[in-house]
Structure 1
Amino acid sequence: MLTLEGRSVIAAMCVGQLGSLLPHVVVPSILAAFLIPEWHLSGAQAGLLAGSGAAGYMLTVPVLATLTDRIDARKILIAGSAVSALGTLLFGLFATGLWSGALFNAIAGIGFAGAYMPGLKALTDRLAPGDSSRAVTLYTSSFSFGVGLSFLVSQLVAEALGWRSAFLVTALGPLMMLSVCFLLRPVAPKPAQGRLLDFAPVFRNSNAMGFVLGYGAHCFELYGIRTWLVGFWTFVAVRNSEGSLLTPVVVSVLFSLLAMPASILGNECAIRFGRHRAITAVMLSSACVALLIGAFADKSPWLLLPLVLVYAITVPADSGALTSGMTMAADPNYRGATMAVHSTVGFSLSALGAWALGVALDAAGGPSSATAWAAAFAVLAAGILLGPVALYWSRARAPQG
């Protein structure tokens, strides 16, 4: 049973994370309607711009997350939140094209590298070991709620005040996590084991690495659809005037809001039926739904909407189970390092997913072609199918008792 302090820490960190995530999908939210036409971007360039935040994250999270094994993660969380706000602000003020936008988005991603996994470490360091599975799932599922809020605020502000204002407004979000940080009690980490960037013990832990690689497949799919969902639904809405009620704003927010209960339910199924079995079932289902959406890309939005909403459940349903599985499988002395590898793999494939879909769209006729969207969703399906392969590999490598 969680203590009152434990409940308070979980609630505070989940609220703080909503603030951290407010700038998270500003670029994907305004890409189709504002940045692609104004900056004359191809699909591959748009994917590169959207993925630059994940690239900045990927390059710095190995050091920042591993440092949490040596210093209080709260200190890194404070610095990361400040840099995230700065990068978002710089984009709104000074971005003028692909490369300047990618630079400022990467700075925001570097800041988020100091906020997301260090935030998870700050949370788990303040909880009893038995409280971690559901607490981690609540934290990771609040990620999806924060993304939905980011989609909503970004698009509404951009439509009302211009796309630069969307960055200026959302740059205020990380200040909420800063406020939470000052309320957390200090925690002294355990004495450091080994070298700072010694990931060999993590790579030897095949059980944890199965979840890490599965998380990479999940992130490829998740960030791919998050980057291009607004663009896809813009295509659907333009082709079908009767879908005027189903605007990209409505669909993108609904997609993100369903992720929180889906992630919680997925973790509960993992606890009840077995983690590997539940995650594999979710991933196979998600690949099937992606292929169906691609096959019906040129059909009525009222036919596509149920499929997209089912996809909104299957895409994140494995997230909490994968991340909590990783934290439980990690050696306690190398938990920060394991989180670093987990995040590095995940966000590397996030950047790849955003770019790969853009390349598929360009190769198959562009975002105004139903064939191109079928190709893009086939890429998503192929990416998530690598997850069950990774889990099977880790199971085969696990010591037989």
Structure 2
Amino acid sequence: MNRQLLLCLSRAGTCMGTMAFAGALPVLRSAWHMDAATAGSIQTAFNLSNAFALLVTAWLSDSLGAKRVYLASTWAGAAALMIFAIFARSPHTALPLIVLVGLTQGGAYAPALLLIADLSPAAERGRRMGQILAAASLGYLLSVSLSMWAASTYGAAAGFAICATGALAGAVLGQIGLKGVENRRYHHEPSVSSEPIRWRAVFGPTSLCLLVGYVAHCWELLGSWAWTPTLLATALRPCNLGAMTTSLIVGGTIHLSGMIATGVVGALSDRWGRARVLICVGAMGALCSMLMGWSEQWGAGWVIALVAVGSFFILADSGVLSAAMTDEVPAAYLGRVMGVRSILGFGVGAFAPMTFGATLDWTHRWGWAYMPLAAGGIIASLAALALRKSSQSIDAESNQSQSSIVDKREFERT
């Protein structure tokens, strides 16, 4: 079977644990007697542990190899989810256990991207990055849908157990898909290990624009992923739909459009340029975030439509930002740079669900709660605009330098 397909299926299975708590949240808030701030703090704990794991495993991927780190994380992720399913029975027990889940879920993210970057030619990197992120979105879709349905029908533990089974399947498929792939370790290359990484050289103007854009993207994305399932479930409640129908609508609306977005927009960035695509999707994501919360007062149809469109644009820049960073950073330093990027992006974004929950408790309006998330989209779009100007400036300097060399050669001939 095609290795890219196996890796995509592996990511889909592994990511079934990421949205398990968010999917069950509409049920858990009443079952565990949680206010919005408490629910948001549990999701924030997951995101913070996820961010820490992203840093550590991205860093270790340089010295231990991305393949080894990815496989270890996927197997550990399946075990952590099963432990969470068995022992999480209240906010107090869920909080430490979800930290364990976050550590293992985050551990597979950066190594997967590094593997794709290593196995893909530069001309196809955006498309293949988009495919692996689209596969992750499929896992999120299954996670939200199955967790919400099982929690509503059989209890939250059943939903968590189903997600753990999917993560186990992902670990098995990853083991098969990476069979025969070299576990490349840059730490043992003398030319690299003898020279410390020069952070100022690596994080030039272009990389800094990408870093700011990624942090803003994570803020908007993590806040939306944590709370949009509950917004949809709230909007659909008057429709008196069954648990299965509601869960499918919620999961499909949020993550099906995101799955399409990463594949399509990643390919478009290969053709049209990274900066141009990032400007457009950042601005559209911010606009949709502004409208999604207020649509709760307009009826379920408006909520579904705006969430579908918003989810498309909020996730669309994920693969493009990753592909652009791999274009800029030397392969020997990529793991460490991705680790720094991940801890900043997911570390800042970790507080978005808690900020959202606190705003919702304070204002009792979904519209106001989404406004802090929209700020992330605005900043991401501005960072992409700065990226485009920086790239144009670098290209102009390069052309001027080449022109000077040509003029000098012509002068010497005369």
TM-score normalised by the chain length of structure 1: 0.88
Deviation at 1:394, TM superposition (A): 4.4
Instruction: Give the Cα separation in 2 of the matches to 1:354 and 1:202.
Output: 34
What corresponds to 1:188 in structure 2? 184
Larger radius of gyration: 2
* Counterpart selection for 1:179 from 172, 175, 188: 172
Deviation at 1:237, TM superposition (A): 2.6
* Counterpart selection for 1:44 from 34, 37, 42: 37
Instruction: Give the Cα separation in 2 of the matches to 1:260 and 1:392.
Output: 25
CA contact (8 A) 1:48 1:351 kept: no
Answer with 275-284 or 345-354: which moved more. 345-354
Deviation at 1:397, TM superposition (A): 5.6
Instruction: Give the Cα separation in 2 of the matches to 1:348 and 1:147.
Output: 20
Deviation at 1:197, TM superposition (A): 9.5
CA gap of 1:78–1:277, structure 2 versus 1, over 3 A, is same
What corresponds to 1:158 in structure 2? 151
What corresponds to 2:255 in structure 1? 256
* Counterpart selection for 1:74 from 57, 67, 72: 67
More helix by share: 2
Deviation at 1:13, TM superposition (A): 0.7
Write out per-residue CA displacement over residues 298-328 of structure 1, whole angstroms, 9 at most, x where no aligned residue: 1121233222221122212212211111111
CA contact (8 A) 1:26 1:150 kept: yes
Q: How many residues align?
A: 387
Answer with 17-26 or 287-296: which moved more. 287-296
Instruction: Give yes or no for the alignment of 1:23 onto 2:17.
Output: yes
Identity of aligned residues (%): 23
CA contact (8 A) 2:10 2:170 kept: yes
CA gap of 1:373–1:348, structure 2 versus 1, over 3 A, is same
Structure 1, unpaired ranges of 5+: 1-6, 366-371
Question: 2:3 is matched by which residue type in structure 1?
Answer: V
Instruction: Give yes or no for the alignment of 1:13 onto 2:3.
Output: no
Instruction: Give yes or no for the alignment of 1:324 onto 2:323.
Output: yes
CA contact (8 A) 1:294 1:376 kept: yes
CA contact (8 A) 1:19 1:177 kept: yes
CA contact (8 A) 1:216 1:346 kept: yes
Write out per-residue CA displacement over residues 100-125 of structure 1, whole angstroms, 9 at most, x where no aligned residue: 21211111111122211112222333
Instruction: Give the Cα separation in 1 of the matches to 2:17 and 2:196.
Output: 29
RMSD: 2.5
CA contact (8 A) 2:11 2:135 kept: yes
The 5 Å alignment of 1:1-400 reads 8-33=2-27, 35-183=28-176, 184=178, 185=180, 186-190=182-186, 191-192=188-189, 193-194=192-193, 200=199, 204-238=203-237, 240-241=238-239, 247-365=246-364, 372-395=365-388, 399=394, 400=397
Instruction: Give the Cα separation in 2 of the matches to 1:84 and 1:228.
Output: 23
CA contact (8 A) 1:91 1:101 kept: yes
What corresponds to 1:3 in structure 2? none
CA gap of 1:313–1:196, structure 2 versus 1, over 3 A, is farther
Structure 2, unpaired ranges of 5+: 399-414
Answer with 186-195 or 78-87: which moved more. 186-195
Instruction: Give the Cα separation in 2 of the matches to 1:197 and 1:20.
Output: 34
Instruction: Give the Cα separation in 2 of the matches to 1:94 and 1:135.
Output: 38
Question: 1:289 is matched by which residue type in structure 2?
Answer: C
| Aligned-partner SS, 2:17 | coil
CA contact (8 A) 1:9 1:123 kept: no
